[in-house]
A and B are shown apart, each in its own frame.
Chain A
Amino acid sequence: MRIIYLYGVSAVLLALSFHKSREKTKKALKKAWKSFSKIFPALLGILILVGVLLAVFDADLITMVIGDQSGWIGVVLSATVGAITLIPGFIAFPTASVLIDNGAGYMQIGAFISSLMMVGVVTAQMEAEYFGKRITLIRNLMGFIFSFLVAYVIGRVVDGLWF
């Protein structure tokens, strides 16, 4: 659904651009193709790796390690799983809600969702090509640590300890 909007906006802007200047539009499309072909090989590797990882870390394994009695060990493990995997949000959220129904804790799921989004181990090599190794490492490490804070606050709020 949201993808349709994105296509709509791009199509309208592309038409507008074409109307104003054919030359510039051609240049824009050339640039678009160039940036795409630059990241495609890396992406292909990432997508295959994601398939392998998700096949190994399936829902059963995840539920086993992040039950609501698993405490901080569960938080660390789920943040680690989140950091390694790369799952689109529209799959991650329904999966997370199923995991909670099956006994996973809010704190653990909070850590999982948070590090899933902020930390990308499989995309780190690609990130480093843009920002360099040092910045990539710092950004991902901070995101990982930050997911513990998010987990703690979510655990407190959702389990009703604060409000």
Chain B
Amino acid sequence: MVLIKKFKGALISGILLGLLFAWDAGKGIEAIKISGFALKEMLSIIPPIFILLGLLDVWISKETMIKLMGKESGAKGILLAFFFGSATVGPLYGAFPVAAVFMKKGVKFSNIMIFIGAWSTTKIPMLLFEISSMGAPFAITRLLVNIPGIIIMAWIIDLVTPDAEIEKLHQRMEKM
């Protein structure tokens, strides 16, 4: 029963895949090919990310993390959040477990949101790639709009989220 609940999403997706097959077998095969490719990507990227995550959790103390990116960290905290988010590789779902460890270590909530924003959008290796395929005007314009955008959105989310809810999040991450 627990297993079914855990794999509920996979089950629903599997049913959708079955429906796609019934509708158009060619599309079904294409879907499996794409999923297989994405799975390979996930399995190749995830081991190092999670190993780094485990090491971060064990070796970096809460006090250090609070000093670097906590409540009083100011501009340094924002820069570090951008740096950590931008220096990594991997799809957005890889950012959530990292954010959980950050929260556990006392990183300020708005910096967590900046980290998520940077991870999703301003990755450094991706930028070079974007310049080469879309051209510099496209890539640089996007970057210049995104940096303030990420900070402002993080700030708004922080503003509209009650302190009690953030406190509850911190407690929830503690258990993860």
Contacts and interface: CB of A to CB of B under 8 A. Distances in A.
B133 A41 contact: no
B142 A150 contact: yes
A6 B7 contact: no
Contacts of B49: 6
B22 interface: no
Contacts, number: 230
Contacts of B1: none
Nearest to B58: A28
Q: Is the interface of A mostly helix, strand, loop or mixed?
A: helix
Q: Is the interface of B mostly helix, strand, loop or mixed?
A: helix
Contacts of B32: 51
Given A120-B92, A134-B165, A154-B141, A45 B120 contact: no
Interface of A: 2-3, 6-7, 9-10, 13-14, 17, 24-25, 27-33, 35-36, 38-39, 41-52, 54-56, 58, 86, 88-90, 93-94, 96-97, 100, 106, 109-110, 113-114, 117-118, 120, 123, 125-127, 129-132, 134-135, 138-139, 142-143, 146, 149-150, 153-154, 157-158
Interface of B: 6-14, 16-17, 20, 27-28, 30-36, 38-39, 41-42, 44-55, 57-59, 88-89, 91-93, 96-97, 99-101, 113, 116-117, 120-121, 123, 125-126, 129-130, 133-135, 137-138, 141-142, 145-146, 149, 153, 156-157, 160-161, 165, 168-169, 173, 176
7 contacts: A17-B59, A44-B10, A50-B35, A54-B31, A88-B38, A93-B130, A154-B142
